[in-house]
Amino acid sequence: MRVLIAAGGTAGHVNPALAIAKEIEKHCPGAEIHFAGRKQGMEYGLVTKAGYPFHHIEVNGIQRKLTLRNVARNVKAMYHLALSAPCAAAILRKVQPDLVIGAGGYVSGPVVQTAAKKGILTAIHEQNAFPGITNKILAKSVDLVFAAMPDAVERLGPAAKGKTFVVGNPVREAMWNTDRTAARKALGAKDGQIVVVSFGGSLGAQRLNEAVAELAVWELKERDFLHIHATGSIEKKDFAALAKKLKIDNDVRFQIREYIEDMPSMLAAADLVISRAGALTLAEISAVGRAAVLIPSPNVAENHQYYNAMQLEKLGAARVLEEKNLGQGALQKTVDEITHSQASLMEMGAKARALAQPDSLEKIWTHLEQLLKTGRP
């Protein structure tokens, strides 16, 4: 059996795709799994590191804000869009897949759509409560739709009814079984020392980075935390300059990285997570059962990160700070309140863990197996 998975743009699309690939291999050891994405995207590194064949396709999003630079980007995006269907067809001819899965990102569009037109079995996975435009379009023509959250089912449209199943967000197996003691030891954390892990996504988030830098100044003066912060690739240089200016760049208690390569180990070691509120991030925080301060990105469709985050806050599993409210030491005050006692951290973590869906991958495989055997969802 051959499977082609299209995913790209962010780790929030790629890591669930890799988890699905591993689940397929577990049930079908002889399965040949390929990936399609952009070589310039982060998917290339993650997929090739995992050992899967990678097929390049260039697809870019349309920039909605009208600027001279964005006009040029949009002309380029339209050019790549025109070439995407022939490119997808060429990939399909080469791979000859029995099944094509779209796990999100612009690259999913032409690959899955072309496969559906050719009569190849197709499935998509929507990670958020508010589906993106690509999945809304694909939901009309694919054979099987996976939704992470019940709220997404209605928003995918009437064409998706009858073939949509709520399965949660799949996370890597390591999220469930990474040893916390070993992970803390690897970081050099002292017994009883609170470990804070913060990140704003693979590309980075300027305002979140600035708030974390302000927090670090307070932490290094008032607390004995061990704080690991990932700046993201785009914000790396700016954060380094800010850290130097604030004199927080030369203390082992505040460690700066571009990207967290081993997220399962990092979350296992953490007591508190500060992050955006992407669907995969929340699924992973829930899987390890960690307290969190969530700062939803305001620059996403339908403000879906805010609604994702509020689901955790309502249950006492996280605190939500909107980006517009980050001034006047708001992050510091929130962290100070949460970390006042280990008991409160553990209570929030336990509530997060209660939201986890450890059988997500099993559910996905059950429906994929049904589709492969019968051609029906």
Q: Are residues 136 and 193 in the same domain?
A: no
Q: Are residues 121 and 143 in the same domain?
A: yes
pLDDT at 61: 59
Q: Are residues 124 and 242 in the same domain?
A: no
* 9-31 CB burial, b ≥16 within 10 A, e <16: bbbbbbbbbbbbbebbeeebeee
pLDDT per residue, tens digit, the chain (377 aa), is 999 999 988 888 898 999 999 999 999 999 999 999 999 888 999 999 999 999 999 876 555 566 666 655 655 555 455 567 889 999 999 999 999 999 988 899 999 999 999 999 999 999 888 888 889 999 999 999 999 988 889 889 899 989 999 999 999 889 999 999 999 999 999 999 999 999 997 777 899 999 999 999 999 999 999 999 999 888 889 999 999 999 999 999 999 999 898 999 999 999 999 999 999 999 999 999 999 999 999 988 778 899 889 989 999 999 999 999 998 899 999 999 999 888 999 999 999 999 898 999 999 999 999 999 999 88
Q: Are residues 189 and 329 in the same domain?
A: yes
pLDDT at 238: 93
pTM over 0.75: yes
Return the CATH number at 291: 3.40.50.2000
* 98-110 CB burial, b ≥16 within 10 A, e <16: ebbbbbbbbbbbb
Q: Are residues 103 and 45 in the same domain?
A: yes
Q: Are residues 259 and 315 in the same domain?
A: yes
Amino acid at 142: V
DSSP assignment letter at 303: G
* Residue-range definition of the domain harbouring residue 20: 2-169+358-374
Q: Are residues 26 and 58 in the same domain?
A: yes
Strands 99-102 and 121-126, sheet pairing: parallel
Give the residue among 171, 128, 179, 174 at the shortest CA–CA distance from 358.
171
Q: Are residues 251 and 152 in the same domain?
A: no
Q: Which residues contact 301 (CB under 8 A, 6 or more apart)?
A: 130, 132, 133
Question: How many domains is the chain partitioned into structurally?
Answer: 2
Q: Are residues 64 and 160 in the same domain?
A: yes
Q: Are residues 334 and 366 in the same domain?
A: no
pLDDT at 304: 84
pLDDT at 83: 62
Q: Are residues 135 and 14 in the same domain?
A: yes
Q: Are residues 96 and 198 in the same domain?
A: no
pLDDT at 79: 44
Give the residue among 350, 373, 304 at the shortest CA–CA distance from 147.
304
